[in-house]
Amino acid sequence: MSVDVAWAEAWIRTSARVLSEHRARLNTLDREIGDGDHGENMDRGFQAILPKLDGLTDATTPADLLKVLASTLISTVGGAAGPLYGTAYLKAAGAVSGTAELDGDAVVALLTAGRDGIVLRGKAESGDKTMIDAWTPAVDAAAVALAAGAGADQILAAAADAAEAGAVATEPLVARKGRASYLGERAIGHRDPGAESTALILRCAADAAQS
């Protein structure tokens, strides 16, 4: 199975709905170790893309939509999340540019490029208690699923499962990046909000591939 521009649009629209539904929880997670506005910022960015999708009639590939989403997030989302997620979507779009149907290889390339874009922008690595702790397990699981012969939908589901587990696994970590790093061991026991929003977004990608 492959995914296409309809999948990309469904992914973005579903993400907008789910992030709005989880806005308060993401704010709470961020309040415990950060500024307390991660949910608000993510909701603002994804709501801003919806009218642009409504007016976008010439998009034919997933990359077309992801590029618009990237620029929207960079310009509307406050804090570190806007540049990080914007870079992720921009690099993901670049990895599949001009491709109308994304097979398993292309989906893994998209996810890998998204993760690598965040690493490039944020200089974080696994174990730093950031969104990378959700993204890297997702990319690894996607690669394993691809090697096992899975289709795009199964690859996305495996990535989402791993991202959710990765977000939970940030709770016992000491933060080494971002505002949470100032808390030292006081950050232990709290889930990273960026890892949680990553898990939500990747689950939306998987759900969109099933619809």
d(CA 73, CA 141): 26
Is the confidence at residue 180, as pLDDT, over 70?
no
pLDDT at res. 53: 93
Rounded Cα–Cα distance for residues 28 and 102 (Å): 36
Q: In the chain, pLDDT over 90 holds for what percent of residues?
A: 80
Which is nearest to 61 in space by CA: 96, 86, 91, 106?
96
- Confidence at residue 175, expressed as pLDDT on a 0 to 100 scale: 79
Domain ranges in the chain are 5-210
| 154-168 pLDDT per residue, tens | 999 999 999 999 999
**171-196 average pLDDT score:** 77
CA proximity to 100, closest of 11, 15, 7, 208: 7
According to the model, what pLDDT value does residue 21 have? 98
The domain made up of 5-210 has a fold known as 1.25.40
33-45: pLDDT as tens digits: 788 899 999 999 9
Phi, psi at residue 3, to the nearest 5°? -125, 160
Q: Is the pLDDT of residue 79 over 80?
A: no
The pLDDT, as a whole number, for residue 184 is 63
Task: Name the residue among 11, 10, 79 with its Cα closest to residue 44.
Answer: 79
